[in-house]
Amino acid sequence: MLADERRRAILALVKKQGSAAVEDLVKHFRVSAVTLRADLGQLAREGALVRSYGGAMLHEDHSGDYPLTVKNTRNQAEKTRIAAAALRLIKSHQTVILDSGSTSAALARALKHANLDALTVITHALNIAQEFLSSSKISVIMIGGIMRHLSGSFVGPQAEHMLRPLHADHFFLGIDGLDADLNLSTPDLLEAQLNTMMMQISNEITVIADSSKIGRRSLSVIGNLTAARRLITDTRISQEMIDKIRSERIELITV
């Protein structure tokens, strides 16, 4: 079986089952695990499916709300570059809010190795708080509430109540969608409500998102990009969206 033919067969099987494990696909197609992972990687780059730990799944799973383990495998190089650009905006003695999500997690990893003093991080994401366990120079305010198992973040009335009296110099917002009307969106209603409040209590807002999020709409609107100072994304953003964003005098950083 040729590689292209095998990949079409793999995709047909994943579509039929919804997901598939590498070990099962190896047995089914009688190829090595290395070859099979290369096939899945190519299909993922083409946008045909989503790589997950130990296998693959369809884009339609979770209605676009993927587990963090899946998000962490997608567009890693772009997220690392976006995080590096965002890091340059943070100064010592600031209070910053880091949203949940894999791009924000990349920023947290970069931030803990930065030479910044007296920094305070506010977050509602477990994985981001854990990044700073060994960073004594960074104070962390963890927002509690109802845990979303997909993202490992806390949302709901308790989270909003805890956030309401706080203030931040800078909010780094990760999103799942930025549509043609520049609406920022996420799959979860309660997460969207909390993000909206985070925007309201912050002096400056920077949206961090790879280009796969741009040009699409998720379930719940957080707000509009015009409320933000800038967007940091990768160079694959379409010229149409570049023109739209710049027409609103929003700073656009592509990396």
What pLDDT is stored for residue 210 in this prediction? 93
Output the pTM of the full model: 0.76
Whether 151 shows a pLDDT value over 80: the answer reads yes
**Is the model's pLDDT at 249 over the cut of 90?**
yes
Are 54 and 105 members of one domain?
no
Residues 142 and 175 in one domain: yes
In a domain, 162, yes or no: yes
pLDDT recorded at residue 47: 67
Checking if the pLDDT of 150 tops 90, the result is: no
Pairwise CA distance, residues 216 & 228, whole Å: 18
pLDDT at 44: 79
Q: What is the 3-state secondary structure (H, E, C) of 19-50?
A: EEEHHHHHHHHCCCHHHHHHHHHHHHHCCCCE
Domain of 42, CATH number, reads 1.10.10.10
Instruction: Output the average pLDDT for the chain.
Output: 90
| Token duo for residue 177 | 């969608």
66-104 pLDDT per residue, tens: 555 556 556 788 999 999 999 999 999 999 999 999 999
Query: In the 3-class helix/strand/coil scheme, how is 207-247 assigned residue by residue?
Result: EECCHHHECCCCCEEEEEHHHCCEEEECCCCCHHHHHHHHH
Contacts 24+ apart (CB under 8 A), 46-53: 48/11, 49/11, 49/14, 50/74, 52/19
pLDDT tens-digit profile of 175-184? 999 999 999 9
Q: What is the pLDDT of residues 162-216, one digit of tens each?
A: 999 999 999 999 999 999 999 999 989 999 999 999 999 999 999 999 998 998 8
> Are 47 and 158 members of one domain?
no
- Are 93 and 147 within one domain? yes
Does residue 65 form part of some domain? Answer: no
Domain boundary among 12, 31, 59: 59
Number of domains in the chain: 2
Query: What percent of the chain shows pLDDT beyond 90?
Result: 72
Same domain, 116 and 25: no
Task: Say whether both 167 and 42 belong to one domain.
Answer: no
Instruction: Say whether both 54 and 121 belong to one domain.
Output: no
Q: What CATH number should be reported for the domain holding residue 153?
A: 3.40.50.1360
Residue 113 is predicted with a pLDDT of: 93
d(CA 153, CA 149): 7
pLDDT the model gives residue 88: 98
Structural domain of residue 168, as residue ranges? Answer: 76-254
Average pLDDT for 219-232: 96
Is the residue at 200 inside a domain? yes
